[in-house]
Amino acid sequence: MSIHELIEKEIKRQRETLMLIPSENYTYPEVRAAVGSPLMHKYSEGYIGKRYYQGNEIIDEIEGLAIESAKKLFGVPHANVQPYSGSPANSAVLMGLLNPGDVIMGLNLSSGGHLTHGHPTITFSGKFFKSIQFGISKDGTFNFEEIENLVKQEKPKLLILGTTAFPRVLDFEKFASVFPKDVILVADISHIVGLVIAGEHPSPVPYFDVITTTTHKMLKGPRGAMIMVTKNGLQKDADMGKKIDKAVFPGLQGGPHDNTTAGIALALEKAGSSEYKSYAHQVVLNAQSLSSKLISLGFELVTGGTDNHLLLIDLRNMNVTGKEAAVALEKAGIVTNANSVPFDDKGPFNPSGIRMGTPAVTARGMKEQEMEKIALWIHEVVQSIADDNKLGEIRTKVISLCEAFPVDF
């Protein structure tokens, strides 16, 4: 089978399934055109006005547009749009601002944190730095007294705070208050970036020093990332932006992907619109509607619901593992991912939970009544996990729903 035929099969799969993985989304036709454009032919090592190769006059303008859009949207004085993805962006911040062996703090993986936030032994952030991890309490909240005591005991040089599977609002102001003024505060808002832009989630910009984010989740852009330095960050260290820029290039990367930079600029432009704000608001409404219906059907949700775009189901009361549920749901045309839950008694390859979110189904135009229908199907799947005939029946219904809300490819 040719690459072209495989691409067509993947397009068909995306059209006919419900994309509920919260880190996936449908981008804009203009962004796809930019990413597939002849901009990919150019090499542009360096930064605006300081390239190592000739022929970058137009590329400088494109990167400048992306930078200025980021600075305006977030209200920051410095932005770098060259990181290839979220993990390289976080590694550049740590490399640019720390020395090997420095103490960092971050949210642990089972509480909804990210591997690059200091997960021990298997990531750069856990290997090259002394990582101190904290988690959420059994009631799904943060014990700030315990975190403050941990800070006093371990004396971290940097906090990197962000989530991949935490369904509640992060109180950036409160977190900033429990760390000494000399600690570098980094917020990874990859999952909630669209909510922050639209005012659906508090912004870390007034309280933190550095902001990192991917551009391909709720932002609906290409697969890339950004690093921003706030006024607080530059007041703490006037060279903070320069140090991070040097860590991105030449520290960790070669030339930027200029086609991706153009896609980021387009996505940022659209994120400033009233239409995007309406979209972000509906993402939250849909997540809450899906959450409420699942709870009414007997599902246990981590923290008991959601404030944002995602929810995490603890399936232990259903006597089904997260992997079993995710595989069965995929057969029914509902695409989620198995995920650890707090205080999980199972391993990461077959955890107790499934994670799902509403950015992509909202991008298709679905609203609360569709979320209730999807919740009913999820319940049917979990109740009929080994019944392929039943899963096939649900898949037929899913395809009909998807046809009613087509994707623009």
Catalytic one of 42, 51, 217, 364: 217
| Catalytic status, residue 47 | no
β partners of residue 50: 47
Instruction: Check if 17 is active-site.
Output: no
Catalytic residue among 45, 300, 344, 393: 45
Place of tokens 């935490």: 166
| Conformational region of residue 222, where left means phi above 0, alpha means psi within -120 to 50, and beta covers everything else | beta
- Of the listed 43, 154, 277, 373, which one is catalytic? 43
Q: Are 338 and 322 in contact (CB under 8 A)?
A: yes
Crossing angle of helices 3-16 and 388-404, rounded to 10°: 90
Give the pairing type, strands 337-339 and 353-357. Answer: antiparallel
E strand spans, 238-320 = 300-301, 310-314
Helix residue ranges per DSSP H, 77-192: 86-97, 124-127, 144-154, 172-177
In angstroms, the CA 123 to CA 343 distance is 22
Kindly name the residue from 27, 123, 188, 209 that is annotated as catalytic: 188
Query: Are the CB atoms for 75 and 199 separated by under 8 Å?
Result: no
How many Å apart are CA 91 and CA 70, to the nearest integer? 20
From residue 106, alpha-carbon distances to 41, 117, 129, 212 in Å are 39, 5, 12, 14
Q: Which amino acid is at 30?
A: E
Question: Is 316 an annotated catalytic residue?
Answer: no
Catalytic residue among 27, 212, 213, 214: 214
Active-site residue flag, 324: no
Does residue 214 carry a catalytic annotation?
yes
- Determine whether 217 is an active site residue: yes
Name the residues annotated as catalytic: 43, 45, 188, 214, 217, 223
